Amino acid sequence: EPEVTQTPSHQVTQMGQEVILRCVPISNHLYFYWYRQILGQKVEFLVSFYNNEISEKSEIFDDQFSVERPDGSNFTLKIRSTKLEDSAMYFCASSGGSSYNEQFFGPGTRLTVL
Amino acid sequence: AQKVTQAQTEISVVEKEDVTLDCVYETRDTTYYLFWYKQPPSGELVFLIRRNSFDEQNEISGRYSWNFQKSTSSFNFTITASQVVDSAVYFCALSEDNYGQNFVFGPGTRLSVLP
């Protein structure tokens, strides 16, 4: 069964450093998403991406964040200068194919900013 | 804007008890989709069910059942004969978009099933 994959599973970085979180969505999906979950809190929408551009973004997704689909398979989230409060689990999701209204989530990347 | 409320922050039950997790949603759209996800201690999000707004039939899947009531904007989830492995955080979510966008999660309910 196709699935969304994410790497790395855990990333530790120093405050101020740039990080790139990687995702491989399901191959025939057209819509891609990033979500954030601060420990013990709810899952929050960051951004959605379609046709090589951002289709929607939340207030959380400020200039520190960017997304890219550098090739036909990867979907990345970059945080330019990490802050302590960026520590969270980041989930990638994709939708499309035969199940347009269901998002399939990856296993998440736990980002720890020291 | 759409909103999802899960009033129960935490629930504890003893194994084999039945438990119902509440979900109330708000939306102005007539077409929308409701979801439940399970997040076990390992952290991943596990899809449980999707329901569209035109299908009010209740659904049963093994020990899981869902009660969708448009009149009260609720989509409650019941686990029958709970087991320790059911211990997790459960999220209700709503999408107003046919392409899975505008996905909003509720705050989650932490279920602890005690042996």
Q: Is A86 helix (H, G, I), strand (E, B) or coil?
A: helix
For residue A18, the model assigns a pLDDT of 97
Whether residue B55 lies within 8 A of chain A, CB to CB, comes out as: no
Winning range, highest mean pLDDT, from A44-48, A65-69, B98-102:
A65-69
> Is B99–A95 a contact, with Cβ atoms under 8 angstroms apart?
yes
Name which of A36, A37, A57 is nearest A47 in CA terms.
A57
Name which of B44, B89, B37, B105 is nearest A6 in CA terms.
B44
In chain B, residues with a C-beta closer than 8 Å to the C-beta of A33 are 101, 103
> Is A102–B35 a contact, with Cβ atoms under 8 angstroms apart?
yes
Instruction: Place B99 in a pLDDT band, splitting at 50, 70 and 90.
Output: low
For residue A36, the model assigns a pLDDT of 96
Winning range, highest mean pLDDT, from A80-89, B35-44, B101-110:
A80-89
Instruction: Place B101 in a pLDDT band, splitting at 50, 70 and 90.
Output: low
Q: Chain A residues contacting B, CB < 8 Å?
A: 30-31, 33, 41-45, 48, 50, 55-56, 89, 91, 93, 95-96, 99-105, 107-108, 110
Over residues A95-99, mean pLDDT: 71
> Is A110–B43 a contact, with Cβ atoms under 8 angstroms apart?
yes
Strands A88-96, A99-105: pairing is antiparallel
Strands A44-50, A29-37: pairing is antiparallel
Name which of A113, A83, A99 is nearest A11 in CA terms.
A113
The DSSP secondary-structure symbol of A18 reads -
**Structure-block tokens of residue B68:** 């969708």
Which candidate from B50, B97, B106 shows the least CB-CB separation from A42?
B106
Q: Alpha-carbon distance A5 to A25, whole Å?
A: 7
CB of B102 within 8 A of CB of B2?
yes
For residue B98, the model assigns a pLDDT of 62
CB of A75 within 8 A of CB of A23?
yes
**Structure-block tokens of residue B79:** 């686990």
Q: What is the pLDDT of residues A11-40, one digit of tens each?
A: 999 999 999 999 999 988 888 999 999 998
For residue B55, the model assigns a pLDDT of 83
Is the pLDDT at A113 greater than 90? The verdict is yes
List the single residue in B with minimal CA-CA distance to A98.
B99
For residue B105, the model assigns a pLDDT of 92
Name which of B90, B37, B100, B49 is nearest A102 in CA terms.
B100
Chain A nearest-CA distance from B72, in A, is 23
Mutate to test the interface with B, among A42, A94, A105 (most CBs of B within 10 A): A42
Q: How many CB pairs under 8 A join A and B?
A: 64
Chain A nearest-CA distance from B39, in A, is 10
